[in-house]
Structure 1
Amino acid sequence: MIYARDVTKYPNDELRFVIYAPRYRDNSGGAIVMHKLCDVLNDMGYSALLYPLWKPLSLPSALFRSPRMTFAYLLARAYRGKYATNAKYNTPLAKQRDIQGSIVIYPEIVSGNPLRAEKYVRWLLHRPGFHEGHFKYSPGDLYFCYQEAFHKNCRDMVHGGSLTIGDTLLDIYKQTNYGERIKTCFIVRKGRARPDLPDLKHQWVVDDLSHEELAKVFNECKFCYLYDTYTAYAQYAAICGCIPIVVPLPGVTKEQWVPEEKGRLGVAYGESDTEHAVTTRPALLCFMQETSKKNREAVAHFVEAVKKHFKT
């Protein structure tokens, strides 16, 4: 693993970022995009580092202030070993001294300011409270949304706009089967607590497969039903020629689910929407092929909003 500040100074080093991120897992969308943000910031000449999520600044203090999170971190470290990164990304790790003078980026699952940063922003990768059940933000906090559907419960905060970062894995997910398809698979993931989740005991649930295995499954299946309404696996299924059907949340319209049309490309919201999924699949592929350019545009907007907010 690489540690900074021992790296060569970046051209845009007047802004330094520390991203409070979980370990990299290739089946965790949140982990992927946080590590990818670090990579893009560094690629654009800024100095960006990762600080392991829940890693305490001081162990005795952390055990007193937030014992549950501290024990969770220690158990994860003991069980999984060292903090994992993606070797393809430029994601050096931060030490405690790097926090001073940097802008810390917290995901929405983090309440308060655990790294005691002088300047920090929040990045809502899901609806606040979805994972932890609770959250505590402060009036005046600057925040960005991964998508507009997550723009919730942010009263008296400052909205910096959208920050959508992606890594499309188009080297893995691609259509190889142009013949007849008759199989159906199911993805549950974050939808496991849904009250309308049926008994899928005898169905083909593919939650625990690797990306390579899923690409093969998506090329075998005609349909993939998703009870996790916000997952990139819907788009991955689509570009493999499968029709992803997001099972609608009760009482939630298509526009409420994902307000932006670009976020619905290639995906059906309910069985009656499959024609839309098929007809917009080519546009989805074009959109995903431009991900690198869009990442840089999103980061440029993010940096300008941060500069304006902190007047740097």
Structure 2
Amino acid sequence: MNVFIYANSYDGNSGGILVLHRLCHLINQLEGCRAWLVGATPLSTNRPDPKRIAAELKWYVYGKRRFQTNPLWQTPVWQNGKLPDDAVVVYPEVTNGNPLRAKRVVRWFLHQPGYHTGVIDYGKGELWFKFNSAIDDFSRADSVLSTHELKVIYYPLDIYQPVEGADDHRTLECCHMVRKGTDKPAVHPAGSVAVDGLSHQEMAEVFRRARRFISYDDYTAYSIFAVLSGCESIVVPGKGRSITDWYPQESDRYGLAYGFEPQQLEWAAATRHKVSEHILAEHEKSRQNVIQAIDEIRHYFNQ
């Protein structure tokens, strides 16, 4: 089976891009499957406007040639123009329509449909997968939402780890990240260090110096990276969202406090030791999830 994954150039600081590239790599470890990346264009995520058209032209001139991949992963980039007739294309939920004009479309919901674009423009006869339990069920006539989650994670455990005796050198009281949490009121203390936009290495250095990390983004992996670095990690709750709305599955909340209540801080401290083991299990589970998804795709499209 030939699978083509519609993705942006590799960026280790973008969780969505990272897992699309990781999916390609994992599929290429399976017998009887081949996967390629296809460069996503700016116009594929929303309706055209002058800025997006200009971005599209710039991408064709410069971005297409500079498409980056992770050199440690098996993620070839499709350069041969038209896709083969038996192609299965995987689009993230931010992609509207069917820009590659594929006959077999899989839509992967890495976030709630329409959250980033304000537009939901999906086709008929598609197979949909949710990334995890935090994604709401979504249904439309003539397409199918799988009952199995396609959760693929990759955490750079070599970068995010505490230094022996680091607690004695935590001179920074707090650091924080906003990312997709711009709608939430500021609750971090004066003097807190903003870490948005830092590289993984820079982020790890801050986490090893900080006592507390506050995330306004409900779902960024940096909350877990902070825990791995020995830093207390707190997620600012969204308005009207309970803890089970946030993450229904308890193991997804290990090491994290949802808000500042003492009970949540105690939970985070008590479960912090489970995070590394959980991540290793999730890496293996990611591989199994891909195997299961490929089997379902084969059956759905009679491949």
- Indicate whether 1:173 and 2:193 are aligned: no
Q: Does the Cα contact within 8 Å between 2:13 and 2:199 map onto a contact in 1?
A: yes
1:53 equivalent in alignment to 2:36: no
1:35 aligns with 2:21: yes
Partner of 1:91: 75
Distance across 2 between alignment mates of 1:310 and 1:183:
54
| 1:269 equivalent in alignment to 2:254 | no
TM-score, reference length from structure 1: 0.86
Unaligned ranges ≥5, structure 2: none
Please report how far the alpha carbon of residue 89 of structure 1 lies from its aligned counterpart in structure 2 after TM superposition. 1.0
* 8 Å Cα contact 1:225-1:245 kept in structure 2: yes
The separation in 2 between residues aligned to 1:38 and 1:71, in whole angstroms, is 29
Amino acid at match of 1:130: Y
Matched-pair identity in %: 34
Q: Measure how far apart 1:155 and its partner are.
A: 3.2
Report if aligned partners of 2:138, 2:145 keep a CA contact under 8 Å in 1.
no
| Aligned match for 1:284, one of 266, 271, 275 | 275
**Secondary structure of the structure 1 residue equivalent to 2:277:** helix
SS of alignment partner, residue 297 of structure 1: helix
Partner of 1:242: 231
**Residues 250-297 of structure 1 deviation map (CA, whole Å, 9 limit, x = unaligned):** 100000011112211111111121111121122111011234422210
1:33-53 deviations in Å (ceiling 9; x for gaps): 000000010012320000001
| Distance change >3 Å, CA 195–CA 244, structure 1 → 2 | closer
2:210: which partner in 1? 221
Q: 1:163, 1:298 within 8 Å by CA — same for their partners in 2?
A: yes
Match of 2:181 in 1: 191
> Gaps (5+ residues) in structure 1?
1-14, 57-61
1:132 corresponds to: 117
- Evaluate the alpha carbon distance shift between residue 102 and residue 241 of structure 1 in structure 2; reply closer, same or farther with a 3 A threshold: same
Q: 1:254 aligns with which of 236, 243, 268?
A: 243
- Equivalent runs, 1:131-170 vs 2, <5 Å: 131-156=116-141, 157-160=143-146, 161-170=148-157
**Contact 1:99-1:115 within 8 A present in 2 as well:** no
For the 8 Å contact 1:168–1:291, the answer to whether it is kept is: no
- Residues 223 and 243, structure 1, Cα contact 8 Å, conserved in 2: yes
2:292 maps to: 301
Offset of 1:178 from its aligned partner? 4.0
Shift of 1:308: 2.0
Could you say if the C-alpha distance between residues 243 and 167 of structure 1 is closer, same or farther in structure 2, counting changes exceeding 3 Å? same
Matching of residue 121 in structure 1 with residue 99 in structure 2: no
| Structure 1 Cα separation of the partners of residues 151 and 70 of structure 2 | 19
Q: Distance in 2 between matches of 1:92 and 1:55?
A: 21
Q: 2:97 corresponds to which letter in structure 1?
A: G
Cα RMSD of the aligned pairs, angstroms, is: 2.3
1:56-115 Cα shifts (integer Å, max 9, x gaps): 9xxxxx9xx956655323334656561111111111111323353110000000111111
Q: Could you tell me the TM-score, scaled by structure 2's length?
A: 0.88
Opposite residue 159 of structure 1, the aligned amino acid is: L
Asked if structure 2 preserves the Cα contact closer than 8 Å seen for 1:44 and 1:296, the reply is no
| Distance in 2, Cα, partners of 1:67 & 1:42 | 37
Using the alignment, how far apart are the partners of 2:177 and 2:137 within structure 1? 25
* 4+ residue runs over 4 A deviation: 65-70, 76-81, 197-202
